[in-house]
Structure 1
Amino acid sequence: MGATGSKLEKALGDQFPEGERYFGLENFGNTCYCNSVLQALYFCVPFREQLLEYYGNNKSIGDPEENLLTCLADLFSQISSQKKKTGVIAPKRFVQRLKKQNELFRSYMHQDAHEFLNFLLNELVDILEKEAQAAKTDPDTSPPSEKVANGFKNGHVNGGQKEPLVTWVHKNFQREYSPTRQDACNSETATARDETFFRLEP
């Protein structure tokens, strides 16, 4: 990769983006689906910046409990803090945590990248929501990441109804659409409702 990396740097020359890092991820037999998603997420700059902010806030209070969010944040921090502009990193800790957490990813069979992306985004949201709930219960002992980096709407009461919690993962990847349903071909009765879904930004 060293020779390849230097070729890439020479090819880009002065056009190499300031502060950017281009690192491949080592494949552990069948983890190309995982690596593809991690690479795409790393180059989604708003997501990366918020994840690194989360990482910095958590580091300031010591070692947080390990989960997929902390492992992903640690991996992104490793990449962004490299002195070299190109190279290879082994996402070993992240993959180990993924396999420990979900048996679907323990086998040596190839997995679907889109299914993995959906699993990962939903898992990150679950972790942030639990942290936000813990921050509400005991705000004095919650780490700064729960107050600052989550960027959530904190369930304010609006007409007696709480707004749903919106994390920075939602803000980057959740979209809404309003499918219209008609009961019969000639029926004038049509219903529509907003539905949410996760997807990568174009």
Structure 2
Amino acid sequence: MVMGAAGSKLEKALGDQFPEGERYFGLENFGNTCYCNSVLQALYFCLPFREQLLEYYANNKTGGEAEDNLLTCLADLFTQISSQKKKTGVIAPKRFVQRVKKQNELFRSYMHQDAHEFLNFLLNELVDILEKENAAKTSPEISSSSEKIANGPSHPQGNGVRKEPVSTWVHKCFQGILTNETRCLRCETVTARDETFFDLSLDIEQNSSITSCLKNFSSTETLNAEDKFFCDKCCSLQEAQKRMKIKKPPNILVIHLKRFKYIEQLGRYKKLSYRVVFPLELKLSNTIDNADCEYSLFAVVVHVGSGPNHGHYVSLVKSHNHWLFFDDENVEMIDESMIQTFFGSTQEYSSNTDHGYILFYERLGGRS
């Protein structure tokens, strides 16, 4: 498939502003696979992730006798894109999409799928495959530790001694650590429990910002009445204060905005089109001990549509200080000022249904 006039227009727009080796390819849609295409574009322009994947492909080229898995299919797709002769065009991620459908029945139908669920599934699968490979290299008898990162925070780590799981390059890119602190109001003892995460799912409110959503995420909550906390020191249920802090920020911070909310009265999910401002530069000052942690936005997966069960996904991607818009096969350059049109709406019912859904931020090295 050739992009024709649109392709040459993009070629012209790209001009000499981009490095010779960079490629900007649209992805063919195989019937409602925009959830997959939009996430793939965000991951392709996540440079640490892309570099590791291309390196993995280069080190694991086989003569075709090894069985395909999601990791080999993704590495193959990224290599295919990066080694194209032309700068722009369209690629069909057929092998990868087929593998996704084979692996997970959730994505087999032609129904509208959730891009955040897909991202979670994909990263977990990659971790699984890499851990199994690492385990096979170190000791063929040991099976994978299968440390999966579920939707949002998971893996409480108690005080029991346990072997540290193998850290893969997927962990190095995306994994952060949260600390769940509970302070007993009777004896002041603080119980802290660490949890790892690949993304943060944030509740949203009308006319808010990512900064205020993060502030709410780590605000102090009082546990009382039937929610009292069992304090080990007092050996009884006590009133307590609880808060969540980011203990170790990830290199790539993925923020998922909870735009789909279950409404009891309606008996179904409703999309929240709230205006939530996401800055191009983000400081994690309220949620973390190290307030010097600064991030820069490089990709946004956008949900287009008024409800959770139908709609479309597109992505906005920053590459070499320029923003591009990816909509399946179509790719175009956009002005940075366009980003704010995806914040959401101040009215409950709006004709603009294009809202930022998953945000990808890259940590800036050691800058305050």
Cα distance between partner residues in 2 of 1:124 and 1:13 = 35
Structure 1 residue 14: deviation in Å? 1.4
Cα distance between partner residues in 1 of 2:11 and 2:36 = 26
Cα distance between partner residues in 2 of 1:137 and 1:2 = 52
Amino acid in the other structure paired with 1:110: H
Aligned residue in 2 for 1:121: 123
The reply on whether 1:181 has 2:166 as its aligned counterpart is no
Kindly report structure 1 stretches of 4+ aligned residues shifted beyond 4 Å.
none
Aligned residue in 2 for 1:136: 138
Amino acid in the other structure paired with 2:52: Q
Cα distance between partner residues in 2 of 1:19 and 1:187 = 61
Amino acid in the other structure paired with 2:181: T
Amino acid in the other structure paired with 1:167: T
Amino acid in the other structure paired with 1:190: V
Tell me which of 38, 41, 46 is aligned to 2:43. 41
Q: Which runs of 5+ in 2 are unaligned?
A: 141-160, 200-253, 255-359, 362-368
Aligned residue in 2 for 1:194: 194
Amino acid in the other structure paired with 1:174: Q
Aligned residue in 2 for 1:79: 81
* SS class of match (2:29): coil
Q: Deviations over 1:110-144 (max 9, x none)?
A: 11111100100000000001111111235xxxxxx
TM-score, normalisation: structure 1: 0.83
Aligned residue in 2 for 1:172: 173
Cα distance between partner residues in 1 of 2:43 and 2:23 = 14
* SS class of match (1:193): strand
Cα distance between partner residues in 1 of 2:170 and 2:4 = 34
Q: Deviations over 1:17-72 (max 9, x none)?
A: 3311000111111100000111111101111111111111111x433320000000
C-alpha RMSD over aligned residues: 1.7
Cα distance between partner residues in 1 of 2:53 and 2:123 = 12
Amino acid in the other structure paired with 2:88: T
Cα 1:187/1:111, change in 2 over 3 Å: farther
Structure 1 residue 5: deviation in Å? 1.8
Structure 1 residue 189: deviation in Å? 3.1
Cα distance between partner residues in 2 of 1:187 and 1:110 = 51
More helix as a share of residues: 1
Q: Which runs of 5+ in 1 are unaligned?
A: 139-159
Count of aligned pairs between the two proteins? 179
Cα distance between partner residues in 2 of 1:9 and 1:85 = 7
Aligned residue in 2 for 1:93: 95
TM-score, normalisation: structure 2: 0.46
The reply on whether 1:2 has 2:20 as its aligned counterpart is no
More strand as a share of residues: 2
Cα distance between partner residues in 2 of 1:62 and 1:124 = 21
**Share of identical aligned residues, percent?**
79
Q: Deviations over 1:143-201 (max 9, x none)?
A: xxxxxxxxxxxxxxxxx9633200000001111121222455x7623322221111334
* SS class of match (2:60): helix
Cα distance between partner residues in 1 of 2:132 and 2:31 = 33
Kindly indicate whether structure 1 or structure 2 has the higher relative contact order, using CA contacts under 8 Å at least 6 residues apart.
1
Cα distance between partner residues in 1 of 2:82 and 2:139 = 34
Amino acid in the other structure paired with 1:170: H
* SS class of match (1:125): helix
Cα 1:187/1:10, change in 2 over 3 Å: farther
Is contact 1:9–1:16 with CA below 8 Å preserved after alignment? no
